[in-house]
Amino acid sequence: MFDWLVVGAGFAGSVLAERLAEVRGEKVLLVDRRGHIGGNAYDCHDAAGLLIHRYGPHIFHTNAQRVLDHLSRFTAWRPYEHRVLGVVDGRLVPIPINRTTINRLYGLGLTTEEQVEAFFADRAEAVEPVLSSRDVVVSRVGQELYEKFFEGYTRKQWGLDPSELDRSVTARVPVRTNDDDRYFTDRFQCMPADGYTAMFRRMLDHPNITVELGTDFAALRERPVARRIVYTGPVDEYFGHALGRLPYRSLRFEHEILDREWAQPVGTVNYPQTEAYTRISEWKHITGQQHAKTSIVREYPSAEGDPYYPVPRPENQALYKRYEAMADAAPDVWFVGRLATYRYYNMDQVVGQALATFDQIQASVPRAGASFVTQVRATASAR
């Protein structure tokens, strides 16, 4: 009998497993139905010995000192700032849209932020209220840039028109008036020095943690393996889809090794107007590895396959809220992570959520084996 069964060895499950084992000294069984740890952040070497991310490019960026400090217990970092170009009207231009993008696309020589702001203001359309992923872009830069950069990409990625998606989706990508061509502007931008899987391995290397891979929660459900559960899989699946299926968007990843040193000038090139795939990423930019060959991945969005993205739109949120009420009422089960809380979270947000959940557990769940007296003492000294 374990104290905790943790379902899913991604960021949510692994961060919590380590905290429960290390801080509370409790016995944890961590299972994942896949054959590896790391969840969607898993990386490995391909046939040419190039480090690749099996489930698409994972760039670490955060403003949260606590999250960085926590992960730094398990990895050193390599500084890396991600850059993205888009193939638009046959030209390679920076994404997010910035001053360089506008100058290159329209053959202009804008030099100040005010000039670029005026360029956007001329084209912006009044939209009130700003609700959808179309509204948020059109109200900032107008219909033409919206069509060039966002409409096609979003339709491919989500199988929906931007007008059918919550504004938060395209709002992830800002519009800039300066010439900053970084994809992210967070305070901390870096990659785990030996890769994600090595970081997860160190996190889970603990005498109180037992990892069982290739094990589905479904096989353990009826067996009393632990007193409490941390569940990080899809929330609707936990409840047997009792209220209907929550939509998740999937991707097919096409990895390819190329017999040349470089394939493209930056880590990722987006294709908002052409191709069936959304983007191509080249690992060596992202990992810093040196190699005579190079390896790339193309992402083909799909309705079928592993769940990768919750789909942010009002009706899905409403259905999730009903599942959330069931989750809140489930005794001794904690739902954490991108799939279990149906939130379009980045890695750092999932780590932050897992650490916050651990704080809640500390505040409300007596430690296994602790007598009432020691529990009261521990709580008092924690204050």
Phi, psi of 115 (to 5 degrees): -65, -40
Q: Which residues of 79-114 are buried (b: 16+ CB within 10 A; e: fewer)?
A: ebbbbbbbbbeeeebbbbbbbbbbbebeeeebeeee
Q: Does residue 13 bind ligand FAD (CB under 6 A)?
A: yes
CA distance 362 to 264: 48
Token readout for 291 is 């190699």
Window contacting ligand FAD (CB under 6 A); options: 172-180, 240-248, 276-284, 340-348: 340-348
Which pairs count as long-range contacts for 100-104, CB under 8 Å and 24+ apart, including other chains? 100/179, 100/181
Given 3, 4, 5, 12, the residue binding ligand FAD (CB under 6 A) = 12
- The Cα angle at residue 207 between residues 201 and 211, in degrees rounded to 5: 50
Determine contact, residues 203/14, Cβ cutoff 8 Å: yes
Q: Does residue 321 bind ligand UDP (CB under 6 A)?
A: no
Nearer of residues 154 and 287 to ligand UDP, judged by Cβ: 154
Q: Does residue 158 bind ligand FAD (CB under 6 A)?
A: no
Instruction: Give, as ranges, the residues between 160 and 199 that touch ligand FAD (CB under 6 A).
Output: none
CA distance 382 to 316: 40
Q: Does residue 170 bind ligand UDP (CB under 6 A)?
A: yes
Determine contact, residues 310/343, Cβ cutoff 8 Å: yes
Q: Does residue 347 bind ligand FAD (CB under 6 A)?
A: yes
CA distance 45 to 51: 4
Instruction: Give, as ranges, the residues between 58 and 97 that touch ligand FAD (CB under 6 A).
Output: 58-59
Give min distance, CB of 192 to ligand UDP, in A.
18
Q: Does residue 173 bind ligand UDP (CB under 6 A)?
A: yes
Determine contact, residues 41/11, Cβ cutoff 8 Å: yes
Residue 310 interacting partner from ligand FAD, ligand UDP, none (CB closer than 5 to 8 Å by kind): none
Given 25, 33, 80, 188, the residue binding ligand FAD (CB under 6 A) = 33
Residue 332 interacting partner from ligand FAD, ligand UDP, none (CB closer than 5 to 8 Å by kind): none
Q: Does residue 103 bind ligand UDP (CB under 6 A)?
A: no
Give min distance, CB of 149 to ligand UDP, in A.
5
CA distance 33 to 7: 9
Determine contact, residues 337/353, Cβ cutoff 8 Å: yes
Compute the chain's Rg from CA coordinates: 23
Phi, psi of 138 (to 5 degrees): -60, -35
The residue count for binding ligand UDP (CB under 6 A) is: 13
Q: Does residue 14 bind ligand UDP (CB under 6 A)?
A: no
Q: Is the peptide bond before 162 cis (omega within 30 degrees of 0)?
A: no
Give min distance, CB of 97 to ligand UDP, in A.
9
Nearer of residues 157 and 295 to ligand UDP, judged by Cβ: 157
Q: Does residue 9 bind ligand FAD (CB under 6 A)?
A: yes
Given 228, 338, 342, 352, the residue binding ligand FAD (CB under 6 A) = 338
Which residues are near ligand UDP by CB under 6 A?
Answer: 86, 95, 149-150, 153-154, 157, 169-170, 172-173, 270, 272
Which residues are near ligand FAD by CB under 6 A?
Answer: 7-13, 31-34, 39-41, 55-59, 216-218, 232-233, 251, 308, 337-339, 345-348, 350
